[in-house]
Amino acid sequence: MSAVIDLSSGYTIRDKDLLERLAQAKPIVRDVVTRECEQIQAKRDNRAALSTIKRRRVQTADLFREEKGASRDDLQHIHSVLAICSLPYTRQDISVREWERKQGDMKLLVQAGKLMDPTGNWVEQPLPFGSRSRLILLHTCSEAIRTKSATIEIEDSLSGFMKAMGLQVTGGKNGSLNSFKQQINALAACSMTFGFFNGKQSSTMSAKPFKKIDVFYMKDPAQPPLWPSQITFSPEFFDTLAKHALPVNMHAVRAFSGSARKLDIIFWLGFRIRGEGITRISWEALAEQFGEGYARLDNFKRDFVREIAEIKEVFEKLPVRFSDTGIEVSHSVSEVLAIPTKGRKA
């Protein structure tokens, strides 16, 4: 079936389903059907011309607008403390062994650790960083909530999760699988210390995310280690996860899976909208939490406004507004982040 050109607009209708629809249209309504097919073809062509990242945002927004993709089955979970204070965005040199983040009256200290190799030597691991580390924590926290178990079968489930996030699953030294393995090792080796203070008193809680990981190495040292088959959360982390799991829509995560900062902002907004009234956060406080890599506050403000705008393309009713002094987040229902109320299954 050959393409049809709408002579009134000069637009080519060429998709097979649209051509079949035109062929089946009765003469009396053919002009109307032609215009409808032209509009559909134009929309498809415009979307195809978008970058992959932009296209994902548009597709996710369409999904939510049609009230799809927002059931309990579409949820993942992250520990709420990781929605408040975050990991590094960029790779830190192996000599950097500590990372600190502050948000309000809370601080997170991440300390890099070591794992044992097959010869009995301790091998320093880097600090976990980037979108991969966040996706791993999201996946493992979600699996722990789903199975009600601290031990996660990760060998097969993580590959499936990567595909669900729209990531290519590639092998080899520079493949996506190896980058995920490196972040699993970094997370398994690190320890996290959470500090809370209010000027009168303070409290400190320390926990390793994972209690146990088995890493298998190839005989050829140039080959990357194999997947661990299981990961076990530490009792401290698992117990608090069960009480403080924050739901996140998996389609939104997929739309922003390549950006660690945007993932952090989505997690953070999920925590903030649950507060009472309006929460106001200064630009300086926002930069403390999200401003890694920025030497100038005005550059951070410019990019943060743009990133919020991109997130609002997906969550159109996001209760966020900017002021000269910072950002205002209003209390709202979870549905503004495509998170259904409890009890809604589909």
pTM attached to this predicted model: 0.84
Is residue 113 located within the same domain as residue 239?
yes
- Contacts of residue 103, defined as CB under 8 A and 6 or more positions apart, other chains included, come to 84, 85, 285, 288, 289
Is residue 132 located within the same domain as residue 233?
yes
> In terms of DSSP H, where are the helices of the chain?
16-24, 30-48, 52-65, 81-84, 130-147, 157-164, 176-189, 235-243, 250-255, 260-272, 283-290, 297-314
Is residue 41 located within the same domain as residue 175?
no
Domain end position, chosen among 203, 222, 243: 243
pLDDT reported for residue 45? 85
**Neighbour count for residue 293 (Cβ, 10 Å):** 12
- Cβ atoms of 170 and 122 within 8 Å: the answer is no
**Which residues in the chain come in under a pLDDT of 50?**
7, 344-346
Is residue 115 located within the same domain as residue 223?
yes
Residue 69 located in a structural domain: no
For residues 36 and 106, what is the distance between their CA atoms, to the nearest angstrom? Answer: 55
Is residue 136 located within the same domain as residue 24?
no
pLDDT reported for residue 225? 54
Residue 300 located in a structural domain: no
Is residue 37 located within the same domain as residue 162?
no
Is residue 142 located within the same domain as residue 236?
yes
Amino acid making up residue 61: A
Domain residues for the domain of 110 are 81-243
Tokens of 253: 């995560």
pLDDT reported for residue 219? 58
Residue 67 located in a structural domain: no
Residue 120 located in a structural domain: yes
Length of the chain: 346
Residue 315 located in a structural domain: no
Is residue 87 located within the same domain as residue 32?
no
Tokens of 261: 């900062």
Is residue 135 located within the same domain as residue 36?
no
pLDDT reported for residue 5? 53
Residue 206 located in a structural domain: yes
Residue 308 located in a structural domain: no
Among 326, 282, 315, smallest CA distance to 60 is for 315
Number of structural domains found in the chain = 2
Side-chain half-sphere of 196: how many Cα atoms within 13 Å?
Answer: 6
Is residue 127 located within the same domain as residue 233?
yes
Is residue 150 located within the same domain as residue 193?
yes
Domain end position, chosen among 192, 211, 243: 243
Domain end position, chosen among 194, 217, 243: 243
Amino acid making up residue 207: A
Residue 74 located in a structural domain: no
